[in-house]
Amino acid sequence: CIVLSFCRICVITLAEAHPLLQSGKTIKNINYQISANCSRLQNKVSGKSKRTCLFVFQIQGAQFLTELAPLCRISSSDGEEYTIYSCIRGRLIEVNENILSNPALLQEKPSTEGYIAVVLPKFEESKSITQGLLTQKEYEEVLLKRRGSAS
């Protein structure tokens, strides 16, 4: 799920229909180590303020992500592993290290304290990226159709 702020910052969260939120599974581990040479925890961003929209014009050092770039891997207690992808092109502003010590946040508060990462699309691409996203209402309609076809 991508939550878009008014200043084009995208917060990546688990969608409400994600199996980890629907099945009652327990999250065992979250790993931001994508490969031997790539850890999202090593992302180093510099700028005057990471928390304001003024910052979007002052990013340096952030990892660049494509739509298919893995952000993290989540393991559940039943042995299932889920790779969470960026889903959008842009710069990785931050990852949520709080979920490493408290994985339950992903399930208890997925759209707030349990977010996975913050990504900033390139300014010139931000309009086309966001136009391709579903609104909350459109997403709910897709879920209803999916549930209807499953029964």
56 within domain boundaries = no
Confirm whether 142 is domain-assigned.
yes
CATH at residue 119: 2.40.50.100
| pTM tops 0.95 | no
Q: Which residues of 101-110 are buried (b: 16+ CB within 10 A; e: fewer)?
A: eebebbbeeb
Look at residue 84 and tell me if it is in a domain.
Answer: yes
Domain count, the chain: 1
> Which pLDDT tens digits describe the chain residue by residue (151 residues)?
888 877 778 899 998 888 888 877 889 999 999 998 999 998 877 765 445 554 444 567 789 999 899 999 999 988 999 999 998 899 999 999 999 999 999 989 988 999 999 998 877 777 777 777 778 888 888 878 877 776 5
CB atoms under 10 Å from CB of 116, counted, come to 23
Which residue range forms the structural domain that includes residue 94?
A: 2-34+61-123+132-149
Domain assignment present for 55: no
Residue 88 domain-assigned (yes or no): yes
Query: 108 in a domain, yes or no?
Result: yes
Asked if residues 29 and 116 have their Cβ atoms less than 8 Å apart, the reply is no
What type of residue is 135?
A: T
What pLDDT, on a 0 to 100 scale, did the predictor assign at position 59? Answer: 64
Euclidean distance between CA atoms 136 and 98, whole angstroms:
26
In a domain, 74, yes or no: yes
Per the CB < 8 A criterion, the answer to whether 118 and 9 are in contact is yes
- pLDDT value at residue 102: 95
